[in-house]
């Protein structure tokens, strides 16, 4: 791995990383972790900025975690460009980049994994069985390797944020979880590493997801608390798109991810759609 800015140090080995972090900790430096799968975009870079505010040392991990991809999902196709990611991380002020290979993270198929419970079995969990177990297992392992004081996650993956928070609470990880708001392109589409799969026609269709969510927020703000009516308004917007299939669109409580019948401030509208071969998720919090 190249180290292009003076500050960035790259590690691929768990033990080398631990040695470097032990030295930093002995100087009473606080550590923030930004876990990623690479293919960095502005959304990830904002997580770095937030981590920078929270701690003395910013560690970013890049690891495309095979455990969180199901059979037939895009694990082998998932965009990987470590050289470009290293440059972006260095330019944005990451101190330590941890980019292990699969053998380093999983020398053997793990016997012990972290079960996500009910909260990880609905919505994304139902569409992608085992996904959150894979996410929690790698996040728990990264937490144990890095031992950060803080970890920063994007709000775009709202259910991931909820399962990680639940794990931290239930397994007593001494780590503060910070959520960073979703970053959007000018056309409203939430930034995602998977957006690069979209053709111009796909992208036009994909834009109806944030429009549907905004319509749902609008309905709530103009005095419709019934979740069914809010959801139906969102579906009408999605129905205008060609080449788009709705996986789910719902109003939920963002702590336990249960659907609600009556929306209140703090609830979230969540949605997942397939456009061509690409699956996209997004959400909006009701304020």
Site residues (vs ligand PAF, CB under 6 A): 35-37, 65, 68, 135, 138-139, 157, 160
Question: How big is the chain, counted in residues?
Answer: 287
What is the closest distance, in whole angstroms, from the C-beta atom of residue 160 to ligand PAF in the complex?
6
The two tokens of residue 165 are: 């928070």
Helix (H, G, I), strand (E, B) or coil at 143: helix
Nearer to ligand PAF, 138 or 209 (CB): 138
What would the DSSP string read from start to end of 191-231? P-GGGGG--HHHHHHHTHHHHHHHHHHHHHHTT--BHHHHH
**Phi, psi at 172, each rounded to 5°:** 55, 45
Catalytic residue among 41, 44, 115, 131: 44
The two tokens of residue 285 are: 């919090």
Nearer to ligand PAF, 14 or 204 (CB): 14
133's enclosing H/E stretch is: helix 131-146
Nearer to ligand PAF, 85 or 157 (CB): 157
How far apart, in whole angstroms, are the C-alpha atoms of residue 86 and residue 69?
A: 24
Nearer to ligand PAF, 80 or 235 (CB): 80
How far apart, in whole angstroms, are the C-alpha atoms of residue 171 and residue 233?
A: 39
> Which residues fall within 8 angstroms of residue 19, CB to CB, at 6 or more apart?
none
44 noted as active-site residue: yes
What is the closest distance, in whole angstroms, from the C-beta atom of residue 97 to ligand PAF in the complex?
13
What is the closest distance, in whole angstroms, from the C-beta atom of residue 47 to ligand PAF in the complex?
10
For the annotated catalytic residues, the residue numbers are 44
């Amino acid at each position: 791995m190249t180290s292009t800015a003076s500050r960035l140090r790259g590690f691929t080995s768990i033990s080398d990383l631990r040695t470097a972090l032990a030295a930093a900790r002995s100087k009473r430096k606080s550590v923030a972790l930004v876990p990623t799968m690479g293919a960095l975009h502005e959304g990830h870079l904002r997580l770095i900025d937030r981590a920078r505010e929270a701690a003395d040392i910013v560690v970013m991990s890049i690891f495309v975690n095979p455990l969180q991809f199901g059979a037939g999902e895009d694990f082998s196709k998932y965009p990987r460009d470590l050289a470009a990611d290293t440059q972006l991380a260095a330019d944005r002020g990451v101190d330590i980049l941890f980019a292990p290979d699969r053998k380093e993270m999983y020398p053997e198929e793990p016997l012990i994994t972290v079960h996500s419970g009910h909260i990880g079995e609905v919505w994304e969990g139902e569409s992608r069985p085992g996904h959150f177990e894979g996410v929690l297992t790698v996040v728990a392992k990264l937490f144990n390797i890095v031992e950060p004081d803080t970890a920063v996650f994007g709000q775009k993956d709202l259910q991931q944020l909820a399962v990680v928070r639940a794990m931290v609470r239930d397994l007593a990880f001494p780590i503060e979880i910070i959520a960073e708001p979703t970053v959007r392109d000018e056309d409203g589409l939430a930034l995602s590493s998977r957006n690069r799969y979209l053709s111009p026609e796909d992208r036009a269709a994909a834009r109806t997801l944030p429009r549907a969510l905004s319509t749902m927020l609008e309905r709530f703000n103009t005095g419709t608390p019934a979740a069914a009516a809010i959801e139906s308004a969102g579906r009408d917007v999605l129905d205008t798109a060609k080449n788009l299939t709705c996986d789910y669109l719902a109003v939920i409580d963002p702590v336990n991810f249960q659907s609600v019948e009556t929306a209140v401030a703090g609830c979230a509208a969540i949605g997942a759609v397939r456009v061509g071969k690409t699956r996209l998720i997004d959400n909006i919090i009701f304020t």
